[in-house]
Amino acid sequence: MRPVFIDTHCHFDFPPFTTHEQESLTLAAQSGVERIIVPAVSAEMFDGILSLSRQFSMVYAALGLHPLYVAVHHQDSLDRLEQLLKGNAVKLVAVGEIGLDEYMDEPLIERQQWLLSEQLTFAKRYELPVILHSRRTHDRLAKVLRQSDLPRTGVVHGFSGSLEQAKAFVRLGYRIGVGGVITYPRAQKTRNVMAALPLSALVLETDAPDMPLSGFQGQPNRPERVKQVFEQLCLLRTEPAQQIAEQLYTNSMELFWPA
Identify the CA nearest to 77 among candidates 44, 40, 38. Answer: 44
What is the distance between the alpha carbons of residues 203 and 67, in angstroms, rounded to a whole number? 22
List beta partners, residue 36. 7, 59
The reply, when asked if residue 74 is annotated as ligand binding, is no
- Write out the DSSP string of 126-183: TT--EEEEEES-HHHHHHHHHHH--SS-EEEET--S-HHHHHHHHHTT-EEEE-GGGG
| Whole-number Cα distances in Å, 27 to 33, 108, 134, 189, 252 | 9, 40, 30, 31, 21
The reply, when asked if residue 138 is annotated as ligand binding, is no
The reply, when asked if residue 73 is annotated as ligand binding, is no
The reply, when asked if residue 79 is annotated as ligand binding, is no
The reply, when asked if residue 13 is annotated as ligand binding, is no
- Tell me if residue 119 falls in helix, strand or coil: helix
The reply, when asked if residue 102 is annotated as ligand binding, is no
Mark the binding-site residues for a divalent metal cation, compressed into ranges.
9, 11, 97, 133, 157, 207
Mark the binding-site residues, compressed into ranges.
9, 11, 97, 133, 157, 207
